Amino acid sequence: MLKVIGKMDIAIASGKGGTGKTTLSVSLTLSLQALTNKKVRLLDCDVEEPNSHLFLSVKSKTIEDGWVESCEFDAEKCTGCNKCVEACRFNAIAIVKKKPIFFSDLCHGCGGCVLACKFDVIKSVNRKIGKIVTKEGNNVILRYGVLNIGEIASPPLIKQVQISDPEIGLTIIDSPPGTSCSMVTSVEKADFVILIAESTAFGLNDLEIAVETVKGLHKSFGVVINRDGAGDDRVEQYCKKESIEILARIPDSLNVAKHYSNGKIAWGIDKEFTSNIDGLATKIIKRFSL
């Protein structure tokens, strides 16, 4: 597989939303930046609900169009031969009375129909589906995508967020929650995956699914237990049984939650939280000799 992004790419993922993924991504980025004193990049791949930018003091650098490859039909020329319908593995085209009916949301831009049509009806085009924003400040580069409302295909936009930059030593990838194809697209190119989970019945269930997904992608990974102490020890037991490394335990803290709801990340403010995140960052720096 094509290796990407920067020299070392770490994805942060969770089986579902609301597990503190944004908090962890942002604070780990800040901590790694501070401890290495090098530029760190954060790619917020949750294009349906990007929110990392709310917690970082970064300034807008560029805004680019996010697009997906799609098709356009010159319906006048269509002979109704049906070849494009047969060629489309994604069932994005129907032909009725020599008239193409195209469902752009089903199209994956593979170009199969363009090749199949002998009558020059179809051409490949780029269709705008959102935007990509790059911001920078204090040696942190943040890049995120915003998917237009009504669009459903986030992977093409995520791939554009994950633009390669071999100059950057360290990249943190904030993956969308869940184990959908958006999550797979986000973690696919990472060198290491951090799964964040809460130790509750639901939390464990989501974690197990996420573990299966990253194992299927042949990724090395570890677990961060968030709000440790708020639940039970079932995640701890599970990790022990499955020989999964627990990278950090972030204690349950009202203070951290308060900061978050005020639009602030507790790193650098809350002492205990900061030292926990710094501990995790130090582990990462040592392990990957950053």
Which residues form the interface with ligand SF4 (CB under 6 A)?
A: 71, 78-84, 87-88, 90, 92-93, 95, 100, 107-113, 116-117, 119, 121-122
Say which entry of ligand SF4, another protein, none residue 152 contacts (CB below 5 to 8 A, set by partner kind).
Answer: another protein
Query: For residue 170, what is the DSSP state?
Result: E
Among 98, 99, 128, 258, binds another protein (CB under 8 A): 99
Q: Rank residues 78 and 223 by Cβ distance to ligand SF4 and give the closer one.
A: 78
Confirm or reject binding of residue 204 to another protein (CB under 8 A).
Answer: no
- Give the distance from CA 47 to its chain's centroid: 8
Q: How far is CA 194 from CA 64, 107, 151, in A?
A: 29, 32, 28
Q: Rank residues 50 and 109 by Cβ distance to ligand SF4 and give the closer one.
A: 109
**With b meaning 16 or more CB within 10 Å and e meaning fewer, what string describes 22-35?**
bbbbbbbbbbbbbe
Q: Rank residues 109 and 203 by Cβ distance to ligand SF4 and give the closer one.
A: 109
The distance of closest approach from Cβ of residue 77 to ligand SF4 in the complex, given in angstroms and rounded to an integer, is: 7
Dist CA 286 CA 222 (whole Å):
15
Confirm or reject binding of residue 149 to another protein (CB under 8 A).
Answer: no
Cβ atoms of residues 23 and 265 within 8 Å: yes
Sheet with 246-251, strands from edge to edge, namely 59-73, 122-137, 140-147, 40-44, 170-174, 8-13, 192-198, 220-228, 246-251
The distance of closest approach from Cβ of residue 155 to ligand SF4 in the complex, given in angstroms and rounded to an integer, is: 14
Say which entry of another protein, ligand SF4, none residue 4 contacts (CB below 5 to 8 A, set by partner kind).
Answer: none
- Considering only the stretches 19-27, 59-67, 98-106, 231-239, report the one whose residues sit in contact with another protein under the rule CB under 8 A: 98-106
Confirm or reject binding of residue 152 to another protein (CB under 8 A).
Answer: yes
The distance of closest approach from Cβ of residue 151 to ligand SF4 in the complex, given in angstroms and rounded to an integer, is: 15
Q: Secondary structure of the chain: what % helix, strand, coil (to 5)?
A: 35, 30, 35
